[in-house]
A and B are shown apart, each in its own frame.
Chain A
Amino acid sequence: GENVGLHLPTLSVQEGDNSIINCAYSNSASDYFIWYKQESGKGPQFIIDIRSNMDKRQGQRVTVLLNKTVKHLSLQIAATQPGDSAVYFCAENKGTYKYIFGTGTRLKVLA
């Protein structure tokens, strides 16, 4: 598959445990944030988003937390499964047509 990141930080978690992936964003004016999942050999896939007027948003097995004070975003995955193994990265937008993406974290799920 495609090697999208040779030097990515890696998070290894046991199957069934919860995973927390963190992201520091750069622009205090950003008002829309997205988490993407990228599996080997595939394009990024939308997981969940959050707008700056919210602190928390939940989806199916995933939760995104936004701390605007310290410009920090986190993705929590409940009951991590082998199919969750991928690279995860955040993106930010300030209501314009330009997006800024983080470099990503590789999640490895151990059986």
Chain B
Amino acid sequence: EAQVTQNPRYLITVTGKKLTVTCSQNMNHEYMSWYRQDPGLGLRQIYYSMNVEVTDKGDVPEGYKVSRKEKRNFPLILESPSPNQTSLYFCASSLAGGNNEQFFGPGTRLTVL
């Protein structure tokens, strides 16, 4: 089944404790992206990747890092999480950037205390 998977689905952590949210897609997509979703704000793009080893900032990149060492994986790294990073995170992928349908993962609910 073609899908985007994220792990963990739920995470409660404390300020300053480094964490990684994994994202994997099995569709051989070139483009992958991370979003956060907060009430009243809609989805906001954190980082995206056009292909292996090619990443760029979205609209809200502060406090996040990403890497794209393999085509299928695009982990989101929070080196020192803070409470304002409490949010619902989605990973997405598409064949290529621009005018292409994005497939979203199921989401990761992160709470930073």
Hey, which bits of chain A sit against chain B, CB under 8 A? Answer: 2-8, 31-32, 34, 36, 41-46, 49, 51, 89, 91, 93, 95-99, 101-104
Contact = CB atoms under 8 A, between A and B. Distances in A.
B98 A93 contact: yes
Nearest to A94: B98
B79 interface: no
Contact of B43 (A93, A97, A101): A101
Contact of B98 (A7, A44, A97, A103): A97
B102 A89 contact: no
Contacts of A43: 4, 90, 92, 104-107
Interface string B84-102: 0000101010000111011
B42 A101 contact: yes
Nearest 3 CB-CB pairings of A with B = A43-B104, A97-B97, A101-B43
Given A31-B99, A51-B99, A97-B98, A5 B39 contact: yes
Dominant SS among interface residues on chain B: strand
B31 interface: yes
A83 B107 CA distance: 21
B103 interface: yes
B109 to A, nearest CB: 7
A91 B102 CA distance: 11
Interface residues of B, number: 31
19 contacts: A2-B109, A4-B39, A7-B39, A7-B40, A32-B98, A36-B104, A41-B106, A43-B4, A43-B106, A44-B43, A46-B102, A89-B42, A89-B43, A95-B99, A97-B31, A97-B48, A99-B43, A101-B43, A104-B42
A42 to B, nearest CB: 6
B8 to A, nearest CB: 14
Contacts of B39: 3-7
Given A34-B102, A41-B107, A101-B43, 7 more contacts: A7-B39, A43-B4, A43-B92, A91-B43, A96-B98, A99-B102, A103-B41
